Structure 1
Amino acid sequence: MTTVVAQGTFDILHPGHVHYLSDAAAMGDRLHVIVARSRNVTHKETPILSDRQRRAMVDALAVVDEAHLGHPEDIFVPIERIDPDVIVLGHDQHHDEDRLRESLRSRGLDADVRRASEREGREDELCSTGRIVDRIVDRRC
């Protein structure tokens, strides 16, 4: 059985998230998703939805076998617990694949690191939480 891990913020689920997680699920038999805690999101705006709510929404997706909240201090703790065969990064996530591989090796984890494919955009869809928020502000404020 091939265990796959995907991770992200997943604030305001959109078609890009569904594509990423579906792509990740197709790379193995069981998909675990680690949802970043708000306080650990430093590379972009703080999530709008709570940690608990974002985890519950991801867990409700049919392609996800189990969703977990990330560790408050060490992002590798849930990865060590799950011990995946594959870690799938989103096509546009900020992670450095080589640094991630080094960090995994230094902790004795042997997981293949891959990138999900890019979703073909459709003109009528927004695949970015920031763009969704901007549209809401434009239309409602």
Structure 2
Amino acid sequence: MRRVVAQGTFDILHPGHLHYLEEAASMGDRLHVIVARGANVTHKPAPVVPDDQRREMVAALDPVDEARLGHAEDFFVPVRDIDPDVIVLGHDQHHDEETLSAMLAEEGIECEVARASGREDEGRLLSTGRIIDRVCERRC
């Protein structure tokens, strides 16, 4: 059985998230998703939706076999628990494949690192940030 891990913030779900998770699921037999804890999101604004609700929404998506929150202090704890064959990064995630591969090797975790494609869809809101901006433009 080929285990796949996808990870991200998944704040305000949109079709881009679904595309990422469908593509990740196609790379194996079981898709495990690690949902970042809001306290650990430092590369962009903090999530709007609480941690447990984001995890619950991701778990409800058809491509997802299991969704869990990331570890509060150590990114590698859930990765070790899952023991994936591949970790699939989203097309726009800030992680670098080579750096992540080196970090995994240093931790003694042997798995492939892949990057999902982006979803090209003119005019669609495929970014949580753009969704929030539009809500603010129209409602604030």
Task: Report the number of matched residues.
Answer: 140
How far the C-alpha of 1:52 sits from its partner, in A, is 0.1
How far the C-alpha of 1:85 sits from its partner, in A, is 0.1
Corresponding residue SS for 1:72? coil
Deviations 1:29-62 (A, max 9, x none): 0000000000000000000000000000000001
In 2, Cα distance between the equivalents of 1:134 and 1:107?
39
Q: Which residue of 2 aligns with 1:93?
A: 93
In 1, Cα distance between the equivalents of 2:8 and 2:128?
12
**5+ unaligned residues in a row in structure 1: which ranges?**
none
Output aligned runs, 1:122-133, within 5 Å: 122-123=122-123, 125-133=124-132
- Normalised TM-score (structure 1): 0.98
- Normalised TM-score (structure 2): 0.98
Indicate whether 1:14 and 2:14 are aligned.
Answer: yes
In 2, Cα distance between the equivalents of 1:17 and 1:122?
16
How far the C-alpha of 1:122 sits from its partner, in A, is 2.8
Q: Which amino acid aligns with 2:135?
A: I
TM-align CA RMSD: 0.6
How far the C-alpha of 1:120 sits from its partner, in A, is 1.2
In 2, Cα distance between the equivalents of 1:14 and 1:94?
19
Q: Which amino acid aligns with 1:137?
A: C
The answer to which of 97-106 and 61-70 deviates more is 97-106
**5+ unaligned residues in a row in structure 2: which ranges?**
none
Corresponding residue SS for 2:100? helix
Q: Which residue of 1 aligns with 2:53?
A: 53
